[in-house]
Amino acid sequence: MNQAAKLLQAMQQHPLNWRLEQLQTVARQHQIDWRHDGGSHCVFIRADGKTLPVPAHRPIKPIYVRKFVALILGA
């Protein structure tokens, strides 16, 4: 099990206190692009066009982590 898989599993179990860099690591492993030009949000873009904007401030709220996990798992 690689680091991104461990991060995803940990996010599913405990959606508190995650950083944007950790979400980007998981997204990179699952071939999900993101757009973040230093603004207030990072937008994750799945291949089918579904997007998820996540506020870039830390820590990321649990609701965004849950939505991110759902995006990764294809829901």
pLDDT, position 58 = 80
Give this prediction's pTM. Answer: 0.90
C-alpha separations of 24 from 1, 27, 73 in Å = 18, 5, 15
pLDDT, position 25 = 93
Ranges of the chain whose pLDDT falls below 70: 75
Token duo for residue 53: 């904007």
pLDDT, position 61 = 94
All structural domains of the chain, each given as residue ranges with its CATH number in brackets, are: 3-73 (3.30.920)
For residue 18, which amino acid is it? W
